[in-house]
């Protein structure tokens, strides 16, 4: 059966990572041992370390990789607001509230100055019943 797609790059993928030369070399050798392309003894010789140190490095690399692959919430992480930032937000909200109240007060004042009859509650217009009675009184008085 013919193989489709790109051939696997395997441990050569490490070359594209942003890391020191030593870190890349260690990762590539570790991946080669995991893939069965290299023996642990050969890896230890290339890195100039003993088997116990190699196993330790491999375990740390795998643990770090597994940790980075843990599911994480999507989006940007929430930033904790400092006390100063919280106080600033509260003050901004209060200023907006007071500005709204000031605007409403100015509108009421302008209405009072330009249309005082709207605010004079003592002079009520006669209701329909009163009008009807007056018209009845006027017709009976003639």
How many CB atoms are located within 10 Å of the residue 1 CB?
Answer: 3
Mean pLDDT of 64-73: 91
For residue 15, the model assigns a pLDDT of 82
pTM above 0.95, yes or no: no
Q: Are 53 and 43 in contact (CB under 8 A)?
A: no
Question: What pLDDT, in 10s, does the model give residues 74-93?
Answer: 888 777 878 888 899 999 99
Mean pLDDT of 1-10: 69
Domain ranges (residues) in the chain? 10-67, 88-117
| More reliable by pLDDT, 33 or 117 | 33
How many CB atoms are located within 10 Å of the residue 25 CB?
Answer: 14
For residue 127, the model assigns a pLDDT of 60
For residue 45, the model assigns a pLDDT of 96
Mean pLDDT of 90-117: 91
d(CA 142, CA 137): 9
- Torsions phi, psi of 72, nearest 5? -130, 155
d(CA 64, CA 43): 20
């Amino acid at each position: 059966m013919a193989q489709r797609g790109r051939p696997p790059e395997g441990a050569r993928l490490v070359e594209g990572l942003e890391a020191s030369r030593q870190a890349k070399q260690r990762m590539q050798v570790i991946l080669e041992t995991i893939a069965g392309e290299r023996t642990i003894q050969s890896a230890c010789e290339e890195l100039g370390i003993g088997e116990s140190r190699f196993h330790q490095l491999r375990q740390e690399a795998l643990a770090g990789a597994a940790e980075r692959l843990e599911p994480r919430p999507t989006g940007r992480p929430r930033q904790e607001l400092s006390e100063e930032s919280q106080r600033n937000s509260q003050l901004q909200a209060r200023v907006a509230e007071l500005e709204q109240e000031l605007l409403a007060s100015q509108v009421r004042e302008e209405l009072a100055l330009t249309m005082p009859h709207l605010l004079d509650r003592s002079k009520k217009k006669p209701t329909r019943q009163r009008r009807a009675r007056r018209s009845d009184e006027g017709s009976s008085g003639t």
